[in-house]
Amino acid sequence: MKTQNSKLSSGSSKKTQNTGPLKGLRILDMSRILAGPTCTQILGDLGADVIKIERPGAGDDTRKWGPPFVKDADGNDTSESAYYLCVNRNKRSLTVNITKPEGQEIIRKLAGKCDVLIENYKVGGLKKYGLDYAGMKDEFPDLVYCSISGFGQSGPKSHRAAYDFMIQAMGGIMSVTGEPDGSPMKVGVGIADVMCGMYAAVSILAAIRHRDQGGHGQYIDLALLDSQAAWLINSGSNYLTSREDQHRLGNAHPNIVPYQAFQTSDSFFVLAIGNDAQFRKFCKFAEAPELPDDFRFKTNADRVKNRDVLVTMINDLTQGFSTRHWLEGLAKRQVPCGPVNTIKEVFDDPQIQHRGMEISMPHPLSGNGNVTLIGSPLKMSATPVTYRHAPPTLGQHTDEILEELLGMDEDERRELEMKKVV
């Protein structure tokens, strides 16, 4: 990859007016990879000013997680990976070497200007710099401090590092994902990280609400493993209620039948029947009107008990016609169903396009001047999300932030550069 200039201007990102509900909220983001950045991108989309702290000369690990990378005008890879782009818009990048006393002082001064600090260092990793919660809470009593770790700040495994894949395995989701006789299977994206980031956003907003109602800041301890256990949802509840372990069912649902992918004459489609009326409508269209009155299939509980027989019968029916036949016919009868789309087909879908789930933002390194990103799913009538900053280049806003928030003049900033603090 070509080395990029770390002091590029913000470009045209400032032209977008910030009308978000979190306008005026400032986040000191000392997280990297996926969970923390997911959280702060959500807050940034909602209007918060997110200051992303990165290591000078290195930055967020995900900048190097490619290919693919953004291409420059000559078709060469830049420093910006697609992975990094996915969760880092609406942030400003400031490089700080926190191993140096001057860097630690910058973080403390910025904390005094911020409402929230979020970090995902190893447990105890910031203590030696005096930047852990215990080292900052007395000086900044109104600061909401959020720590994200693999296993939490306490417990026998708290000292261990973790990545999403590990947590998917340890948190049970892989045991219920995949074909019944197949190997354990992870979800195709880093869902444990993403969900933890979403829980983090919710908890931060709750803490801000508490503070603004007359309280103070507080400490938030979020663990990837806890989050993974929480979103086991019905599978977890099934076990806790029955004390019977849950197993892989492929595309089938443990509590609803028929609710899975079925083969057609040319591909597959998903049938998602949630009640007896929908089942009756499906059977009528499938020219099997007798099935809903069969004692084995009258209720959902009956269908769950006899799922193997019913699924075989439905597969025999669906293979007789094309996917289009089933999708169009069932949609007209309001029977929930859908295609099994590729990623390309998702973003080609007119519904996805209409909902603004693919966006373009100006970027200083891109050969065509823009990067294409996944849009926010948050649709708010009075305070819509805004796209103000493309994912920043490394240190892109260092000078801007040091001058704006800490009042440092050019000589002070150049001295910090010479000392390799920023």
Q: Which helix (H) or strand (E) covers residue 109, if one does? A: helix 101-111
- Could you tell me the maximum CA-CA distance found in the chain, to the nearest angstrom? 84
CA distance 62 to 34: 8
**Contact call for residues 223 and 194 (beta carbons, < 8 A):** no
**Contact call for residues 69 and 4 (beta carbons, < 8 A):** no
141 CB-contact burial (10 Å; exposed 0-12 / middle 13-18 / buried 19+): exposed
CA 164, 165, 169, 170: dihedral to nearest 10 degrees? Answer: -40
Q: 311-331 burial by CB neighbour count: b if 16+ within 10 A, else e? A: bebbeebbeeeebebbbeebe
221 is catalytic: no
CA distance 178 to 184: 6
Compute the chain's Rg from CA coordinates.
Answer: 25
CA distance 29 to 371: 23
Instruction: Find how far residue 361's CA is from the centre of its chain.
Output: 19
And the tokens for 396? Answer: 């892109």
3-state secondary structure 373-386: EECCCCCCCCCCCC
The active-site residue, picked from 45, 193, 226, 399, is: 193
And the tokens for 311? Answer: 């699924």
Catalytic residues: 193
